[in-house]
Chain A
Amino acid sequence: MANARTTGEAAAAVPCEEIQALLFDYMAHELGDKQSLLVRGHLLHCEECRREAARMERTVAKLRGDRTVIPPEHLKSAARRRIERVILHPFLDFVYVHRHVVAAILALAIVSLLAFIAGKYSKAGPEGRPLWLGPNPVRETDPQLPQTP
């Protein structure tokens, strides 16, 4: 009995600031036995710290009672299928993840192919005109061939 009273008196003597620094930990059951006892003992004797504890409790209750945000409980099935595709179709997923690189490589390949085709058919004719452009059209300014009588 004397021991309990001593503990209670010791708790009451602890500065309120120290107790209030422990209040949330106390309410979250994160304090060891000794510190819990100290806070509990202090609260029995201190009106101000009890008010502070009640304020903290109201705060937690308001946060938990908040219905502004209503999180979904599950992912939609489309989202789940998208996730499972990573395992079911790893190649397609790889292409999707690296789509920018794949697109760049494809573009490069197409440009190279076109350049190759252009080079193959561009063996220059006698006037330096590529053969694939067809015969040189006759222009008005072209010198007339001398007429044979």
Chain B
Amino acid sequence: MPGAKDRLDSLRSLVDEYEGALLRYVSRLMGSASYAEDVVQNTFLKFTRKWRKPFEVSPDASRWLYRVARNEALDHMRAESRRRRLHAEHGGEAMAQPTMPSAAPSDKARSASDALGRLSDRERELVVLKVYEEKSYKEIAEITGLSVGNVGYILHNAMRKLAAILGGDD
């Protein structure tokens, strides 16, 4: 049984290994970087409390982290949209997108981000893992629990939708 010092060192290595990838993944998934840190922090907190195996970089740990990060991000987005809806229903002014990043986006960039936002949660998740994280279908299948065939099918449909929005040669 490793002591607290060893566990701490292992945890630090694990956070070093995954924090960047998870921050990118969650930011893209949510269409904003504003809450990515909270979501990723919560993901690691849950991991540290619940992970019963040694803290090691492994496919198991990776799968666990991505799945929990995804659920945390989606929960956060649902809560946020509920809050906005309630606000609108109770006579609040139509709120501007509160999670838009501070950097001024170009029109082209904005349309890419908007296009992603029009996909279903599942489609967006797969596109982020493939296009931005450059994971193989097999890795995506491991992370999402889908079959490799299903990953290909969903990605194909998602990319066709995106191509219809973004594919023009402007």
Residues on A facing B (Cβ under 8 Å): 21, 24-25, 28, 30, 54-56, 58-60, 62-76, 79-80, 82-84, 86-88, 93, 97
Q: Could you list 5 examples of A-B contacts with CB < 8 Å?
A: A66-B112, A72-B33, A74-B23, A84-B8, A88-B8
A28 lies within 8 A of B45 (CB): no
In angstroms, Cα B49 to Cα A93, docked, is 9
Q: With contacts A63-B116, A69-B32 known, what are 14 further pairs, Cβ within 8 A?
A: A21-B156, A25-B152, A30-B136, A55-B168, A64-B132, A65-B109, A68-B110, A71-B33, A72-B33, A74-B19, A79-B37, A84-B12, A87-B4, A88-B4
Interface size on B, residues (CB 8 A): 53
Residues 21-48 of B at the A interface (beta carbon under 8 Å): 23-24, 26-28, 31-33, 36-37, 40-41, 44-45, 48
Q: Does B61 reach chain A (CB closer than 8 Å)?
A: no
In the bound complex, do residue B27 and residue A71 qualify as a contact, i.e. CB atoms below 8 Å apart? yes
- CA gap between A66 and B169 in the complex, in Å: 16
Q: Are A75 and B23 in contact (CB under 8 A)?
A: yes
Task: Give Cα A97–Cα B49 distance, bound, in whole angstroms.
Answer: 10
B113 within 8 A of A: yes
B166 within 8 A of partner (CB): yes
Q: Chain A CB within 10 Å — which of B40, B108, B163 has the most? A: B163
Q: Which of B105-148 contact A (CB under 8 A)?
A: 105-106, 108-113, 115-116, 127, 130-132, 136-137
Kindly state the separation between the CA atoms of A97 and B42 in the bound complex, as whole angstroms.
Answer: 12
A56 touches B163 (CB 8 A): yes
CB contact between A66 and one of B15, B37, B109 (< 8 Å): that residue: B109
CB of B92 within 8 Å of the partner chain: no
User: Does chain A have a CB within 8 A of B74?
Assistant: no
Q: Given A58-B167, A59-B166, A76-B37, answer yes or no on A69-B31 (Cβ-Cβ < 8 Å).
A: yes
Q: How far is the CA of A65 from the CA of B152 in the complex (A)?
A: 23
Whether B19 and A75, one on each chain, are in contact in the complex, defined by CB atoms closer than 8 angstroms, is: yes
A69–B113 contact, CB under 8 A? yes
Distance from B54 Cβ to chain A, minimum over Cβ atoms (Å): 13
